[in-house]
Amino acid sequence: MFDWLATPERDVLSLSSPLGNTLAELSILYQQGEIVSATLKHGQTTEIAPDPESLLQNLAGLTLPVSGMRWWLRGLPDPRMPFTRTDDSFSQSGWLVTATDFRDGTLPYKIELTRDDLRIRVMISEWSAAVP
């Protein structure tokens, strides 16, 4: 399970075990919408890099589209990057992004990311807005 907390200045993705223990936490810092650094905490280790993809590549050997997630999980393309739109999906940075199940009409509850032979399915259980 993962939790995602997003603010204009920072994203925090926390990966937890089924028992609720935090396995890893990825923080992404932004300035004027651009990523300035990423920090990955796992176990007793903390790693810092200029982008989140390189941290996950070093940890898991996978290249995952973390930079675009801030937009893609909302069913939107990153406005800073070129994209092409089809009927119910869009392509960006080599990924096909399909968002479905818009229960309340604005935010998706199912997102599928596909590139080459890799498919990532994200199921959102709950959307909530932070109260200032």
Per-residue pLDDT tens digits for 33-46: 888 999 999 888 89
Per-residue pLDDT tens digits for 85-132: 988 899 999 999 999 999 877 899 999 999 988 888 888 888 877 544
Q: Are residues 83 and 38 in the same domain?
A: no
Does this model's pTM top 0.85? My answer is: no
Query: What are the backbone angles phi and psi of residue 53, rounded to the nearest 5°?
Result: -60, -40
pLDDT of amino acid 131: 46
Per-residue pLDDT tens digits for 77-94: 998 889 999 888 999 999
Residue 131 within any structural domain of the chain: no
CA distances from 25 to 12, 48, 57, 58, 64 (A): 7, 12, 15, 15, 15
pLDDT of amino acid 130: 57
Domain boundary among 58, 76, 93: 58
pLDDT higher than 80, residue 5: yes
pLDDT of amino acid 132: 41
**Short-list 95, 62, 63, 61, CA closest to 78:** 95
Q: Are residues 74 and 102 in the same domain?
A: yes
CB neighbours of 53 closer than 8 A, spacing ≥ 6? 63, 64, 65, 66, 67
Q: Are residues 53 and 77 in the same domain?
A: no
Domain boundary among 58, 73, 88: 58
Q: Are residues 83 and 37 in the same domain?
A: no
What is the domain extent for residue 37? 1-58
